[in-house]
Amino acid sequence: MNMARIKAVLPRELLASVVVFLVALPLCMGIAIASGMPPAKGLITGIIGGVVVGFLAGSPLQVSGPAAGLAVLVFELVRQHGMAMLGPILLLAGLLQLLAGRFKLGCWFRVTAPAVVYGMLAGIGVLIVLSQVHVMLDSAPKPSGMDNLLGFPGAVAEALPVMGGGVGWQAGLLGLGTIAVMYAWEKLRPQRLRFVPGALLGVGLATVVSLAMNLSVKRVEVPANLAEAIDWLRPADLLNLADPTLLIAAFAVAFIASAETLLSAAAVDRMHSGVRSDFDRELSAQGVGNMLCGVLGALPMTGVIVRSSANVQAGAQTRVSAIFHGVWLLAFVVALSSVLQSIPVASLAGVLVYTGFKLVDLKALRSLGRYGRMPMFIYGATAMAIIFTDLLTGVLLGFALTLLMLALKAARLKINLVQREGNEMELRLTGAATFLKVPALTQVLDTIPAGSIVHVPLGGLRYIDHSCLELLEDWGRANRASGSRLIIESRGLKRRIEGQMRTSAGIGA
């Protein structure tokens, strides 16, 4: 972009960048807490996502940073392998993204069934809610969704003084107040103030109330010097990537982050009429960003729709806005870290609970219903598998069910047995005759009377495999003694199938 163009759009870009910064600030810290990491780690990722990825991005109006969609996976990785191993995993995941972008594989990451994506986000949303309700009570979240659900009554009991507990109820009220402010602002905010983020209002109000009433609640811990939050990648830790579980984790992070980024980029393109996204370049930029996050020991990043939509709605037209939002994050952390240390953790948890509920998009579920029951089933099965097992298992189950659905659709075959004159009959086959339809075809063949002449036109088939051809051949040979005859009419069929028919023995052609 030339300097004249930058000067012309700079005032609008600066205003948009401030709006995005205000949206990103509470989310960066809240997602870090939900991931089991210090809040400063999320801020570092947000800064890299703005300054570095914003400059390299292939989607000019998309904003990158820590994403709620990866919080559950990061929490599990940190719990199992420790915070130090997140760096090598992100370095490898970022390298995979960079290579995928360089080899023009960006479009393939978007070949993901919407039912799986929406189901994944719904499952993640439920897990975030189940874990963050504990954080809202100034309690520690449990390792799994079921543990969080079963442990919730105990956490409430510990928070209530009347039940012999502590002062966690105060934190709970701050979290609920934050949620109430966000919900009310979304429904009632004036049009001229639509750029003001509800999350910032909720967190700001909760912070003021907690300070005014001198409440004894947990507050955000941010180092006065941001450099103290950086945990440089140690070369010795790279040797641990020989562990197959860590390799799988790196591939999972790369795939989920890439899919979420490119789906978000496609959604952002639908919001404006400017420059379209270059998905391969965007994927490479995300790879560079995640590699840097791995080196600095920060959270993984993706392109995120909440910050990106705020960027578009605020009037951004170039990548300058995304870059400056990262600059504002850095300046705020460096100059006003004491302000961040006043924020109640429960208020940020309230932001994440609200975000988690939004991830369970019932409108998406209803839209999937237009395509039949199977997509809705895949949505539900993916979400439930993530809730009751883990993220990777749920996503793999969603893909398996999608492939099964495609196989069943591809294998649809209509079988009609029509009576002709005399003892002649016609076996009409329409669709794809695969091994999955051998039982149904066998049942129809068993109903043909002895001594019948059966014509089988294959022009209505788009595919027939060896198992169905062999079944027809076997029926012809087995019933020849009773006077039956099978005539396969292969005109209109592909040459390779005609070749199969010419090699068949004992069947009329």
Whether pLDDT at 250 is above 90: yes
Residue that is written with structure tokens 């669709």 in the block: 431
For the chain, give the mean pLDDT: 87
Mean pLDDT of 108-127: 82
**CA distance readout (Å), 313 to 231, 271, 323:** 36, 9, 17
- According to the model, what pLDDT value does residue 509 have? 33
Q: Give the C-alpha separation, 79 to 401, whole Å.
A: 29
The two three-digit tokens of residue 3, written as one number: 């300097």
The two three-digit tokens of residue 8, written as one number: 């012309």
The two three-digit tokens of residue 40, written as one number: 């400063």
Confidence of residue 497 (pLDDT cuts 50, 70, 90): very low
Candidates 62, 59, 30; CA nearest to 132 is 30
Cβ neighbours of residue 442 closer than 8 Å, sequence gap 6 or more? 471
Domains and CATH numbers, the chain: 3-153+167-405 (no CATH), 413-503 (3.30.750.24)
- According to the model, what pLDDT value does residue 494 have? 42
Residue that is written with structure tokens 């442990």 in the block: 151
Question: Helix, strand, or coil here: 315?
Answer: coil
Mean pLDDT of 403-415: 83
Q: Where do the H-state alpha helices sit in 303-342?
A: 305-313, 320-335, 337-340
Highest-pLDDT range among 92-106, 122-136, 353-367: 92-106
Whether 158 and 168 have beta carbons less than 8 Å apart is answered as yes
- The helix-helix angle for 345-359 and 3-34 (nearest 10°) equals 100
Residue that is written with structure tokens 């952390």 in the block: 333
Candidates 86, 71, 78, 84; CA nearest to 28 is 71
Mean pLDDT of 25-52: 94
- Using one digit for the tens of pLDDT, what is the confidence trace for 437-460? 889 999 999 999 999 999 999 888
Whether pLDDT at 155 is above 70: yes
Whether 286 and 38 have beta carbons less than 8 Å apart is answered as no
Mean pLDDT of 132-138: 91
Whether pLDDT at 373 is above 60: yes
- The helix-helix angle for 114-136 and 71-81 (nearest 10°) equals 60
Q: Where do the H-state alpha helices sit in 161-243?
A: 168-188, 198-212, 235-238
Mean pLDDT of 201-206: 93
CB-CB neighbours of 106 under 10 Å: 24
Q: Report the share of the chain in percent with pLDDT over 90.
A: 43
| Ranges 1-10, 387-396, 430-439: which has the least confidence | 1-10
- According to the model, what pLDDT value does residue 3 have? 63
Candidates 212, 220, 209; CA nearest to 135 is 220
Comparing 133 with 509, the larger pLDDT belongs to 133
Task: Please give the model's pTM, rounded to 2 decimal places.
Answer: 0.76
Q: Give the C-alpha separation, 502 to 509, whole Å.
A: 8
Output the CA torsion sign for 248, 250, 251, 252.
positive
Element (H, E) at 399: helix 391-410
Which amino acid would we find at residue 403?
A: L
- According to the model, what pLDDT value does residue 1 have? 55
Mean pLDDT of 102-121: 82
Q: Give the C-alpha separation, 452 to 421, whole Å.
A: 11
| Ranges 146-155, 400-409, 486-495: which has the least confidence | 486-495
- According to the model, what pLDDT value does residue 85 have? 93
Whether pLDDT at 503 is above 60: no
- According to the model, what pLDDT value does residue 506 have? 36
- Using one digit for the tens of pLDDT, what is the confidence trace for 389-398? 877 788 889 9
What are the backbone dihedrals phi and psi of residue 279, each rounded to the nearest 5 degrees, phi first?
-65, -35
CB-CB neighbours of 78 under 10 Å: 16
Q: Give the C-alpha separation, 374 to 403, whole Å.
A: 12
Question: Helix, strand, or coil here: 316?
Answer: coil
- Using one digit for the tens of pLDDT, what is the confidence trace for 459-473? 888 888 888 888 998
Whether pLDDT at 508 is above 50: no
Comparing 188 with 194, the larger pLDDT belongs to 188
**CA distance readout (Å), 105 to 63, 283, 508:** 21, 9, 49
Whether pLDDT at 492 is above 70: no
Cβ neighbours of residue 204 closer than 8 Å, sequence gap 6 or more? none
- According to the model, what pLDDT value does residue 364 have? 84
Mean pLDDT of 284-295: 97
Confidence of residue 6 (pLDDT cuts 50, 70, 90): low
- Using one digit for the tens of pLDDT, what is the confidence trace for 308-353? 988 888 888 889 999 999 999 999 998 888 888 899 999 999 998 9
Whether pLDDT at 495 is above 50: no
Q: Give the C-alpha separation, 417 to 295, whole Å.
A: 68
- The DSSP code sequence of 328-371 is HHHHHHHH-HHHHTTSBHHHHHHHHHHHHHHHS-HHHHHHHGGG
Mean pLDDT of 114-143: 88
- According to the model, what pLDDT value does residue 2 have? 59
- According to the model, what pLDDT value does residue 505 have? 37
Whether pLDDT at 219 is above 80: yes
- The DSSP code sequence of 54-99 is HHH-SSTT-EEE--GGGHHHHHHHHHHH-GGGHHHHHHHHHHHHHH
- Greatest Cα pair distance in the chain: 98
From start to end of 423-484, where are the E strands? 424-433, 453-457, 461-464
